[in-house]
Amino acid sequence: MNEVVTLVFDELPPGLNGRKGLLRMHWKLRQQLNQRWYWLVLNALNGKRPDAFSETRPCNVRATRHDCRPMDWDNFGASLKPVLDGLIKCGVLEDDGPGVVRSLTLHQVHVQHKNASRLVLQIIPETKEARNDDKRQGEGEPNRL
């Protein structure tokens, strides 16, 4: 996996808060939401799994939310749960834990109108050099504050 895979969704996942938020959502609606994001991911992939994901390798995920109303960062991160679950169900990611997704970077872009809202996910493969740097940083004495 050497290429960056970019998926664009013309829909935004709901946040945690509010009447329609993930925290208060009925389990049946949550199930339907997860199924919807599975289909949205499949649609973004054009129905096929990219060759880049023929084997499991660590990657970094960059999420950019284009919306007219910015979200709190913790809310934004939590709202990606159904999206990441859709990536797993479609076979793009083996898992969304730190063994596979090394980092999740969040960006927000303000747009003028709700019709311009979208979510852009970039899945960036981790290079061997970056993995070796991580291993070297873990050696020796721990950092003390």
Tell me: the pLDDT tens digits for 52-76? 555 667 999 999 999 999 999 999 9
- Architecture of domain 5-128 in this structure: 2-Layer Sandwich (3.30)
- pLDDT at position 101: 93
Q: Would the pLDDT of 125 be above 60?
A: yes
d(CA 33, CA 70): 21
Which has more confidence, 36 or 144?
36
Q: 53: closest CA among 84, 88, 18? A: 88
Per the listing, tokens 């940083």 go with 137
Domain boundaries defined on the chain: 5-128
Higher per-residue pLDDT: 23 or 142: 23
* pLDDT given at position 14: 92
CA distances from 45 to 9, 67, 137 (A): 11, 23, 36
For residue 1, pLDDT beyond 50:
no
pTM of the model: 0.81
What is the SS3 assignment for 98? coil
